[in-house]
């Protein structure tokens, strides 16, 4: 029997796929959230990302973000699966090409227009908004949250961005799927710094935090474990059997997200000696530009390439 789609859902799915999104799910904006995020902040696992404490009330109550909100539409967008290990050391897959914040925000604006046509008021975000994206993606049936803390999709794995649209439209919701990590603990075992515990990543130990977000210098005990991680870390994703080589086969990867040749050949020594102007030129349009030349230099000094 043919599945009858709600008209807004049908329009949304069509527009999202035209824009290159690989998945769409809908969650109840008022779905009960647990206290993991509050505990994360209380215990100081957010390190110096003080905006996480500021965002807490809004994350726990989407009504504060968009009055009258009914649904959170969650979207996935694929990023390259192949390793971004180059002469430069290891760069997290998501960050090898253009900045996804800009790329996806423009696409979300298009989807907002589609939803306005149906009478909806929307707010949309990717990463930087006060929305628990992994929680809502799991609620929207797009996957489950693995022991590495990431959203994992059967057959597709975790190499994707998440984006969210809060809407006042009452679209039918999807159902969450069961956790399929089973007895596997490979991500925890593969984490170079032991940052993963009880399905949560403690930013105070995470290389992604220290090489991207941290304002202060990496402590020596973490630096000793940095290895060749120049920017971000994918170790807990690389270890995951759901990211096996054929996962996501046939899914389109946006060419804007691939690493430019100039970065492929730059060694850590070269990157560590860049001046402001050269840094801005090499990383124009890249998410790496946000950390600034000083932080990149620090990463080249503490790592082992
Ligand atoms: C802060 C942040 C970080 C910090 C802190 C990491 C962390 N512990 O979350 C740092 C800088 C370290 C980081 C690193 C990375 N990040 Co980050 N990060 C975020 C951000 C902005 C907030 C995450 C957050 O609030 N964490 C705190 C935890 C406690 O809350 P949570 O994520 O909402 O997840 C909890 C709940 O969902 C709850 N939960 C789980 N299941 C269930 C079920 C039910 C029923 C309930 C009630 C609750 C519940 O438990 C979860 C885990 O504790 C999100 C974007 C966003 N706005 O959500 C991106 C985001 C999570 N990051 C992302 C990525 C890609 C990464 C990296 C892989 C980047 C890299 N390669 O270097 C690493 C991976 C590290 C890891 N294993 O988590 C993606 C994840 C995509 C995906 N497939 O899941 C996101 C969604 C950004 C995006 N828009 O694409 N990140
Ligand atoms: S990103 Fe790296 S350091 Fe952070 S939890 Fe994953 S494996 Fe550990
Ligand atoms: S490595 Fe294993 S435990 Fe970790 S997220 Fe993947 S399936 Fe789950």
Q: pLDDT by residue (tens digit) across 92-124?
A: 999 999 999 999 999 999 999 999 999 999 999
Q: Is 168 left (phi over 0), alpha (psi -120 to 50) or beta?
A: alpha
Number of domains in the chain: 1
In a domain, 207, yes or no: yes
Consecutive H or E run containing 138: helix 133-139
Question: How many CB atoms are located within 10 Å of the residue 149 CB?
Answer: 19
Task: Report the residue among 40, 45, 204, 208 best suited for mutation to probe ligand 2: largest number of ligand atoms under 8 A from its CB.
Answer: 208
Per-residue pLDDT band at 3 (split at 50, 70, 90): low
Q: pLDDT by residue (tens digit) across 12-41?
A: 999 999 999 999 999 999 999 999 999 999
In a domain, 246, yes or no: yes
What pLDDT is attached to residue 2? Answer: 55
Q: Which ligand is nearest to the CA of 243?
A: 3
Query: Where in the sequence is the domain holding 209, given as residue range(s)?
Result: 1-173+185-305
Cα angle 269, 271, 273 (rounded to 5 degrees) comes to 70
In a domain, 57, yes or no: yes
In a domain, 180, yes or no: no
What pLDDT is attached to residue 89? Answer: 87
In a domain, 178, yes or no: no
Residue 186 CA to ligand 3 center (angstroms) comes to 6
Taking each helix axis from N to C end, the angle separating 100-117 and 7-18, rounded to the nearest 10 degrees, works out to: 150
In a domain, 34, yes or no: yes
Known catalytic residues are 127
Q: pLDDT by residue (tens digit) across 134-185?
A: 999 999 999 999 999 999 999 999 999 999 999 999 999 999 999 999 999 9
Give residues (CB < 6 A) around ligand 1.
33-34, 36-37, 40, 49, 92, 94, 126-127, 131-135, 138, 145, 148-151, 158, 160-162, 199-201, 203, 206, 208-209, 212-213, 232-234, 236
* Atom of ligand 2 minimally distant from the CA of 201: 5
In a domain, 179, yes or no: no
Per-residue pLDDT band at 223 (split at 50, 70, 90): very high
Q: Which ligand is nearest to the CA of 145?
A: 1
Residue 23 CA to ligand 1 center (angstroms) comes to 18
pTM of the model: 0.96
What pLDDT is attached to residue 83? Answer: 82
Answer whether 19's CB lies under 8 Å from 37's CB. no
In a domain, 165, yes or no: yes
């Amino acid at each position: 029997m043919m599945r009858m789609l709600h008209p807004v859902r049908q329009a949304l799915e069509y527009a999202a796929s035209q824009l290159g999104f690989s998945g769409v799910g809908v969650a109840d904006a008022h779905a009960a959230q647990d206290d993991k995020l509050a505990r994360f902040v209380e215990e100081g696992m957010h390190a110096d990302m003080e905006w996480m404490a500021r965002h807490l009330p809004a994350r726990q109550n989407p009504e504060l973000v968009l009055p009258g909100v009914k649904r959170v539409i969650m979207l996935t967008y694929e990023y390259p699966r192949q390793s971004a290990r180059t002469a430069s050391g290891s760069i997290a897959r998501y960050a090898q090409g253009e900045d996804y914040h800009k790329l996806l925000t423009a696409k979300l604006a298009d989807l907002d227009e589609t939803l306005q046509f149906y009478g909806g008021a929307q707010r949309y975000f990717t990463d930087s908004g006060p929305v628990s994206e992994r929680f809502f993606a799991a609620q929207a049936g797009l996957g489950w949250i693995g022991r590495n803390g990431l959203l994992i999709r059967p057959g597709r794995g975790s190499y994707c961005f998440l984006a969210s649209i809060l809407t006042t439209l009452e679209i039918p919701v999807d159902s969450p799927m069961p956790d399929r990590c089973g007895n596997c603990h490979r991500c925890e075992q593969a984490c170079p710094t032991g940052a993963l515990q009880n399905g949560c990543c403690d930013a105070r130990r995470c290389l992604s935090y220290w090489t991207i977000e941290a304002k202060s210098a990496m402590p020596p005990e973490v630096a000793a474990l940095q290895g060749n991680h120049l920017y971000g870390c994918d170790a807990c994703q690389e270890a995951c059997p759901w990211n096996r080589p054929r996962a996501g086969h046939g899914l389109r990867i946006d060419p804007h997200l691939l690493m430019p040749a100039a970065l492929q050949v730059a060694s850590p020594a070269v990157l560590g000696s860049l001046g402001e102007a050269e840094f801005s030129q090499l990383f124009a349009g890249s998410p790496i530009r946000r950390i600034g030349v000083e932080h990149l230099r620090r990463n080249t000094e503490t790592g082992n390439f």
